[in-house]
Chains A and B, each alone.
Chain A
């Protein structure tokens, strides 16, 4: 490698990335091997499998998997590939099923994985069930109902990997005493740009004013001041927000939450009630972090928790090729909301997010234009990600969060460990989440 991928010159306050990483087929294949084989990858949320034998099929880390609750009620992740000759054993996006039968030759598996039927099994000298056992599973762990899997045996456990960033899941989940649920409906869309550009974009506070100008104009027209143009400090977080890193490439940017554009009195009342209950459970300071701050977080490499509190979105980003990417997103809501409040949250989130929202298509346009620009990478080889470097407390529209993600990417790809830029911090006291007895 004549040239490093990532150039991190602290003394010159310069951070650059070689544009080759966005275009090279070789790097794309190396990423599939290294980045997605060894990380905790988001699979799904427990609320998506309410009943025994419920399942959903997904692509996680480039592998087809079955995310299911087996007949005993245990949540599992099964690799959706027949032990016989590889065909998918389940081809439906979701359903409720005890047995998965491979359509190719008819091998059948229980939803806990065991191979239970082989047509004409008597023709085998060694019973396939004895030779092969059952469908393979990666490691599976969950934090507060968010399930992740890991294809490596040597990676640390999920809680260790999350480290202090786990509190971001607490803040999201503690909005209701019953936790949160993922709603039906998936935004599933592709773009013609490298996946890392969408990673950057998802935690990029800098582009908001320029790319989403029309969105903010609309907000103002509807009588709402966008948070970054406001002046209030919430829980020690200034209007410009804060960016921070937690190790392992997990990062967040926190900023004062948006108000409630177009909310009815009923919606405002319901939210105040929800907040009041959170104060009773966790105290005022924690409740104010939950309800009055907004957060965009990424858990390395590709899981995003965008917790705007009047609308929460999760998103995964998967590479399909050097210049082709699949984005998938879901909406998360506190359990037990009234229909009106739920609709309000969804509408609010929809106006901005998603492939038909009033903002996301413009993001996609920006990324596709960047990808196009990389055709001149021989003449202009480097991208710059230096904004806010050296600040002890970078703002949400600085680029610390991207640099921290890139340093982890660089570490996994090359083994070169670049030191963290700032110490992990939370602008308020975190707490251990309260557990309901049945979860204890």
Chain B
């Protein structure tokens, strides 16, 4: 529908031309920013009306806005989360843990008028003070095509865990 594209100020370019390879490159680049703790740059990947969510492990399909989820951040709280994580008094993450993430099984699941729905599996390995943890699950994205790359309107990370054990916490950005 050609008219909807002209009504889409958020999307700097049409969703119809986006390729899967382009989406994959974007997700890999995002993963690299997180592994490098370049969080200020990472948060700039998000739109102003974004949400960053992790549902509770026992209700992976629930709406994190209305259930007791693990994370439900809008832009302000997301910014505060990363400001905090950069301070030495963020005790659980200082010195920063080392992470290495593999993003795979990337699928472009839907093209909306101004945005794309994308799913990808993740496996994040984290080493901190001699302890090795892994986090597995699937990311669900709503991506808005930007002049270069994309902006993230929604990122929902669903853990494939039935409880947080042995990791016990999510003290960094998944």
Contact = CB atoms under 8 A, between A and B. Distances in A.
A241 interface: no
Nearest to A372: B129
Contacts of B165: 188-190, 326
A347 B68 contact: no
A192 interface: yes
A343 interface: yes
A218 interface: yes
Interface string B151-174: 000000000001111111111000
Contacts of B89: 213-214
Contacts of A358: 80-81, 84
Interface of B is mostly: loop
Contacts of A187: 56, 68, 70, 164
Given A189-B168, A222-B80, A183 B87 contact: no
A189 B170 CA distance: 10
Contact of A190 (B83, B91, B168): B168
Contacts of A343: 65-66
A356 B168 contact: no
A192 B129 CA distance: 13
Contacts of B74: 347
A81 B87 CA distance: 49
A311 B167 CA distance: 26
B80 A184 contact: no
Given A93-B58, A356-B54, A190 B166 contact: yes
A356 B170 CA distance: 5
Interface in A142-175: none
Contact of B163 (A189, A347, A350, A366): A189
B62 to A, nearest CB: 6
A360 B68 contact: no
A197 interface: no
A243 to B, nearest CB: 25
A339 B65 CA distance: 9
A262 B168 contact: no
B69 A350 contact: yes
Contacts of A262: 76
B66 A350 contact: no
B25 interface: no
B67 interface: yes
A187 B58 CA distance: 8
Nearest to B131: A192
A331 B59 CA distance: 14
A350 B93 CA distance: 18
A162 B146 CA distance: 59
Contacts of B145: none
Nearest to A326: B165
Nearest to B172: A361
Contacts of A93: 58, 162
Contacts, number: 123
A188 B84 contact: no
Given A350-B71, A355-B170, A189 B66 contact: no
A215 B89 CA distance: 10
Interface residues of B, number: 38
A190 B170 CA distance: 12
Contacts of A351: 77, 80
A185 B59 contact: yes
A339 B66 contact: yes
B109 to A, nearest CB: 25
Given A188-B163, A361-B169, A346 B68 contact: yes
A184 B168 contact: no
B90 interface: yes
Given A185-B69, A187-B68, A342-B66, A355 B168 contact: yes
A346 B62 CA distance: 14
A362 interface: yes
A364 interface: yes
Interface in B42-72: 54-59, 62, 65-72
B152 to A, nearest CB: 18
A362 B92 contact: yes
B76 A222 contact: yes
B169 A189 contact: yes
A356 B67 contact: no
Interface string A309-335: 000000000000000001001110000
A356 B58 CA distance: 15
Given A192-B168, A351-B77, 11 more contacts: A93-B58, A185-B69, A189-B163, A217-B84, A218-B80, A218-B84, A262-B76, A329-B68, A354-B70, A356-B170, A360-B169
Q: 9 nearest interchain CB pairs? A: A185-B68, A185-B56, A361-B171, A361-B92, A331-B68, A188-B163, A185-B67, A356-B170, A189-B164
